[in-house]
Structure 1
Amino acid sequence: MQIHISWPAGHTTATIEETPTSKALAGVLPIISTARTWGEEVYFDTPVSVPTEADARQVVEPGTVAFWTEGDALALPYGPTPISRGDECRLASPCNILGTLDDDPRVLSTVRDGDPIRVELITGV
Protein backbone atom coordinates (compact mmCIF):
# COMPACT_ATOMS: atom_id res chain seq x y z
CA MET A 1 0.00 0.00 0.00
CA GLN A 2 1.03 3.61 -0.36
CA ILE A 3 0.48 6.54 1.96
CA HIS A 4 0.67 10.28 1.39
CA ILE A 5 2.27 12.43 4.10
CA SER A 6 1.81 16.20 3.94
CA TRP A 7 2.73 19.26 6.02
CA PRO A 8 2.61 23.02 5.33
CA ALA A 9 5.94 23.17 3.43
CA GLY A 10 5.79 19.90 1.51
CA HIS A 11 4.68 16.34 1.04
CA THR A 12 5.96 12.87 0.20
CA THR A 13 4.66 9.36 -0.37
CA ALA A 14 5.77 6.05 1.08
CA THR A 15 5.41 2.42 0.12
CA ILE A 16 4.29 0.38 3.12
CA GLU A 17 4.71 -3.38 3.48
CA GLU A 18 1.94 -5.54 4.88
CA THR A 19 2.65 -6.06 8.59
CA PRO A 20 0.43 -6.24 11.69
CA THR A 21 1.41 -2.64 12.49
CA SER A 22 0.74 -1.32 8.98
CA LYS A 23 -2.69 -3.01 8.97
CA ALA A 24 -3.53 -1.31 12.28
CA LEU A 25 -2.34 2.03 10.90
CA ALA A 26 -4.31 1.66 7.66
CA GLY A 27 -7.44 1.08 9.73
CA VAL A 28 -7.26 4.56 11.29
CA LEU A 29 -6.18 6.63 8.26
CA PRO A 30 -6.52 9.46 7.47
CA ILE A 31 -5.01 11.07 10.56
CA ILE A 32 -3.88 14.58 11.36
CA SER A 33 -1.23 14.97 14.04
CA THR A 34 1.40 17.40 15.27
CA ALA A 35 4.93 16.92 13.98
CA ARG A 36 7.82 16.73 16.39
CA THR A 37 11.48 16.79 15.43
CA TRP A 38 14.38 15.02 17.09
CA GLY A 39 17.64 15.68 15.30
CA GLU A 40 17.00 14.66 11.70
CA GLU A 41 13.88 12.67 12.49
CA VAL A 42 10.22 13.65 12.27
CA TYR A 43 7.78 11.79 14.47
CA PHE A 44 4.15 12.24 15.40
CA ASP A 45 1.45 10.63 17.50
CA THR A 46 -1.07 8.18 16.06
CA PRO A 47 -4.17 6.58 17.58
CA VAL A 48 -2.53 3.15 17.07
CA SER A 49 -1.05 1.10 19.92
CA VAL A 50 0.73 -2.13 18.94
CA PRO A 51 3.43 -4.39 20.38
CA THR A 52 7.01 -4.43 19.12
CA GLU A 53 7.38 -6.88 16.23
CA ALA A 54 10.14 -9.52 16.03
CA ASP A 55 12.05 -7.67 13.29
CA ALA A 56 12.02 -4.26 15.02
CA ARG A 57 15.24 -2.26 14.52
CA GLN A 58 16.84 0.79 16.12
CA VAL A 59 19.37 1.66 13.40
CA VAL A 60 17.72 2.17 10.01
CA GLU A 61 18.35 3.76 6.63
CA PRO A 62 17.29 7.36 5.94
CA GLY A 63 13.74 7.37 4.61
CA THR A 64 12.59 4.34 6.61
CA VAL A 65 8.99 4.52 7.79
CA ALA A 66 9.05 3.16 11.33
CA PHE A 67 6.52 2.83 14.14
CA TRP A 68 7.78 3.74 17.61
CA THR A 69 5.75 1.41 19.85
CA GLU A 70 6.82 3.14 23.09
CA GLY A 71 5.31 6.41 21.88
CA ASP A 72 2.49 5.13 19.59
CA ALA A 73 4.07 7.29 16.90
CA LEU A 74 5.27 7.14 13.32
CA ALA A 75 8.98 7.92 13.08
CA LEU A 76 10.50 9.18 9.84
CA PRO A 77 14.30 9.50 10.09
CA TYR A 78 16.23 11.28 7.35
CA GLY A 79 19.61 11.67 9.08
CA PRO A 80 21.33 11.47 12.46
CA THR A 81 19.40 11.80 15.72
CA PRO A 82 20.86 12.99 19.05
CA ILE A 83 21.87 9.38 19.92
CA SER A 84 23.30 8.44 16.51
CA ARG A 85 26.87 7.26 16.15
CA GLY A 86 28.28 9.09 13.15
CA ASP A 87 25.86 9.53 10.25
CA GLU A 88 23.53 6.63 11.11
CA CYS A 89 19.80 7.02 11.72
CA ARG A 90 19.40 5.71 15.27
CA LEU A 91 15.83 5.71 16.58
CA ALA A 92 15.00 6.22 20.27
CA SER A 93 14.42 2.48 20.68
CA PRO A 94 13.74 -0.50 18.40
CA CYS A 95 10.81 0.35 16.11
CA ASN A 96 8.56 -1.70 13.85
CA ILE A 97 9.61 -1.24 10.23
CA LEU A 98 6.72 -0.38 7.90
CA GLY A 99 8.33 0.65 4.61
CA THR A 100 10.26 3.43 2.90
CA LEU A 101 9.68 6.90 1.53
CA ASP A 102 9.35 7.01 -2.25
CA ASP A 103 11.16 10.36 -2.55
CA ASP A 104 14.41 11.86 -1.24
CA PRO A 105 14.12 11.62 2.57
CA ARG A 106 15.74 15.09 2.89
CA VAL A 107 12.33 16.56 1.97
CA LEU A 108 11.51 15.95 5.65
CA SER A 109 13.95 18.70 6.60
CA THR A 110 11.18 21.18 5.73
CA VAL A 111 8.97 19.86 8.55
CA ARG A 112 9.02 22.20 11.55
CA ASP A 113 8.35 21.14 15.12
CA GLY A 114 4.66 21.79 15.76
CA ASP A 115 3.58 21.62 12.10
CA PRO A 116 0.29 19.89 11.40
CA ILE A 117 1.00 16.67 9.54
CA ARG A 118 -1.53 14.54 7.66
CA VAL A 119 -1.24 10.90 6.65
CA GLU A 120 -3.70 9.25 4.29
CA LEU A 121 -3.97 6.14 2.18
CA ILE A 122 -3.44 6.54 -1.55
CA THR A 123 -6.30 4.70 -3.18
CA GLY A 124 -6.55 3.33 -6.68
CA VAL A 125 -2.89 2.28 -6.85
Structure 2
Amino acid sequence: MDGGQTPLRIRISWPAGHLTASLDDTPTSQALANALPLVSTVRMWGKEVHFDTGVSVSRETGAQGCRADTVAFWIDGDALALPYGPTPISQGDECRLASPCNVLGRLEGDPGLLATVRDGEPVCVELLET
Protein backbone atom coordinates (compact mmCIF):
# COMPACT_ATOMS: atom_id res chain seq x y z
CA MET A 1 0.00 0.00 0.00
CA ASP A 2 1.13 3.56 -0.54
CA GLY A 3 2.59 5.56 2.31
CA GLY A 4 3.87 2.50 4.14
CA GLN A 5 0.43 1.55 5.46
CA THR A 6 0.06 -2.03 6.59
CA PRO A 7 -2.87 -3.76 4.89
CA LEU A 8 -5.61 -5.30 6.98
CA ARG A 9 -5.15 -9.05 7.24
CA ILE A 10 -7.82 -11.56 8.15
CA ARG A 11 -7.92 -15.30 8.84
CA ILE A 12 -10.84 -17.31 7.49
CA SER A 13 -11.17 -20.67 9.28
CA TRP A 14 -13.42 -23.68 8.75
CA PRO A 15 -13.29 -27.21 10.19
CA ALA A 16 -10.84 -28.57 7.59
CA GLY A 17 -8.49 -25.58 7.26
CA HIS A 18 -7.92 -21.86 7.00
CA LEU A 19 -6.62 -19.14 4.71
CA THR A 20 -5.38 -15.64 5.34
CA ALA A 21 -6.15 -12.65 3.18
CA SER A 22 -4.86 -9.12 2.72
CA LEU A 23 -7.57 -6.49 2.38
CA ASP A 24 -7.26 -3.15 0.66
CA ASP A 25 -8.20 -0.01 2.57
CA THR A 26 -11.80 0.45 1.41
CA PRO A 27 -15.00 1.48 3.21
CA THR A 28 -16.28 -2.10 2.97
CA SER A 29 -13.04 -3.56 4.36
CA GLN A 30 -13.20 -1.14 7.28
CA ALA A 31 -16.86 -2.03 7.96
CA LEU A 32 -15.98 -5.74 7.91
CA ALA A 33 -12.94 -5.24 10.18
CA ASN A 34 -15.15 -3.40 12.69
CA ALA A 35 -17.50 -6.42 12.80
CA LEU A 36 -14.75 -8.97 13.48
CA PRO A 37 -14.45 -11.53 14.87
CA LEU A 38 -17.52 -13.20 13.40
CA VAL A 39 -18.85 -16.71 13.11
CA SER A 40 -21.26 -17.63 10.34
CA THR A 41 -22.58 -20.59 8.35
CA VAL A 42 -21.13 -21.46 4.96
CA ARG A 43 -23.28 -21.55 1.85
CA MET A 44 -21.80 -23.02 -1.33
CA TRP A 45 -22.71 -21.90 -4.84
CA GLY A 46 -20.73 -23.98 -7.30
CA LYS A 47 -17.09 -23.28 -6.47
CA GLU A 48 -17.84 -20.22 -4.38
CA VAL A 49 -17.93 -20.07 -0.59
CA HIS A 50 -20.12 -17.33 0.84
CA PHE A 51 -21.52 -16.52 4.24
CA ASP A 52 -23.45 -13.79 6.01
CA THR A 53 -21.41 -11.14 7.81
CA GLY A 54 -24.13 -9.04 9.44
CA VAL A 55 -22.51 -6.06 7.69
CA SER A 56 -24.55 -3.96 5.27
CA VAL A 57 -22.72 -1.67 2.83
CA SER A 58 -23.32 0.15 -0.44
CA ARG A 59 -21.81 -0.72 -3.79
CA GLU A 60 -18.44 0.94 -4.22
CA THR A 61 -17.06 2.44 -7.40
CA GLY A 62 -15.45 -0.31 -9.43
CA ALA A 63 -17.62 -3.13 -8.08
CA GLN A 64 -16.97 -6.09 -10.33
CA GLY A 65 -16.68 -9.79 -10.86
CA CYS A 66 -13.76 -11.79 -9.54
CA ARG A 67 -10.89 -14.15 -10.09
CA ALA A 68 -10.16 -17.26 -8.03
CA ASP A 69 -8.14 -15.54 -5.26
CA THR A 70 -10.52 -12.61 -4.73
CA VAL A 71 -12.04 -11.68 -1.39
CA ALA A 72 -15.32 -10.05 -2.40
CA PHE A 73 -18.29 -8.61 -0.58
CA TRP A 74 -21.63 -9.60 -2.10
CA ILE A 75 -23.73 -6.49 -1.45
CA ASP A 76 -27.08 -8.12 -2.24
CA GLY A 77 -26.50 -10.78 0.45
CA ASP A 78 -24.43 -8.85 3.04
CA ALA A 79 -21.98 -11.71 2.58
CA LEU A 80 -18.32 -12.38 2.08
CA ALA A 81 -17.85 -14.26 -1.21
CA LEU A 82 -14.75 -16.37 -1.90
CA PRO A 83 -14.73 -17.81 -5.42
CA TYR A 84 -12.24 -20.55 -6.27
CA GLY A 85 -13.67 -21.80 -9.56
CA PRO A 86 -16.79 -21.85 -11.73
CA THR A 87 -20.23 -21.05 -10.34
CA PRO A 88 -23.56 -22.13 -11.87
CA ILE A 89 -23.57 -19.04 -14.14
CA SER A 90 -19.91 -19.21 -15.22
CA GLN A 91 -18.91 -19.65 -18.82
CA GLY A 92 -16.09 -22.15 -19.00
CA ASP A 93 -13.63 -22.01 -16.10
CA GLU A 94 -14.27 -18.37 -15.12
CA CYS A 95 -15.31 -17.28 -11.63
CA ARG A 96 -18.58 -15.43 -12.05
CA LEU A 97 -20.48 -14.13 -9.06
CA ALA A 98 -24.25 -13.63 -9.00
CA SER A 99 -23.91 -9.85 -9.22
CA PRO A 100 -21.15 -7.23 -9.00
CA CYS A 101 -19.34 -7.25 -5.67
CA ASN A 102 -17.06 -4.90 -3.79
CA VAL A 103 -13.55 -6.32 -4.11
CA LEU A 104 -11.84 -6.24 -0.73
CA GLY A 105 -8.51 -7.91 -1.43
CA ARG A 106 -6.81 -11.20 -2.19
CA LEU A 107 -6.36 -14.55 -0.53
CA GLU A 108 -2.82 -15.47 0.45
CA GLY A 109 -1.97 -19.03 -0.50
CA ASP A 110 -3.89 -21.51 -2.62
CA PRO A 111 -7.57 -20.63 -3.10
CA GLY A 112 -8.05 -24.31 -4.01
CA LEU A 113 -8.04 -25.03 -0.26
CA LEU A 114 -11.60 -23.69 -0.29
CA ALA A 115 -12.59 -27.00 -1.93
CA THR A 116 -12.45 -28.51 1.59
CA VAL A 117 -15.28 -26.25 2.80
CA ARG A 118 -18.71 -27.88 3.03
CA ASP A 119 -22.14 -26.28 2.86
CA GLY A 120 -23.59 -25.68 6.33
CA GLU A 121 -20.25 -25.73 8.15
CA PRO A 122 -19.27 -23.00 10.57
CA VAL A 123 -16.78 -20.40 9.42
CA CYS A 124 -14.87 -17.92 11.56
CA VAL A 125 -13.32 -14.67 10.37
CA GLU A 126 -10.90 -12.79 12.57
CA LEU A 127 -8.61 -9.81 12.22
CA LEU A 128 -4.90 -10.67 12.41
CA GLU A 129 -2.53 -8.45 14.30
CA THR A 130 -0.12 -6.63 12.00
Q: TM-score, normalised by structure 2?
A: 0.93
Give the drift of 1:41: 0.3
> Out of 63, 75, 83, which is 2:81 matched to?
75
Partner of 2:29: 22
Q: How does 1:91-110 map onto structure 2 within 5 Å?
A: 91-110=97-116
Computed over aligned residues only, the root mean square deviation of the Cα atoms, in angstroms, reads 0.5
Give the unaligned 5+ runs of structure 1: none
Work out the CA distance in 1 between the residues paired with 2:67 and 2:35: 26
Matches within 5 A, 1:31-50: 31-50=38-57
Post-superposition, which runs of at least 4 consecutive aligned residues in structure 1 deviate over 4 A?
none
Provide the rounded CA distance (Å) in 2 between the counterparts of 1:85 and 1:99: 23
- Tell me which residue corresponds to 1:65: 71
Identity in percent? 64
Q: How high is the TM-score relative to the length of structure 1? A: 0.97
Q: Which sections of structure 2, spanning at least 5 residues, go unmatched? A: 1-7
Aligned length: 123
Which structure has more helix as a fraction of its residues? 2
Does 2:23 correspond to 1:10? Answer: no
- Structure ranking higher in strand proportion: 1
1:54: how far off? 1.0
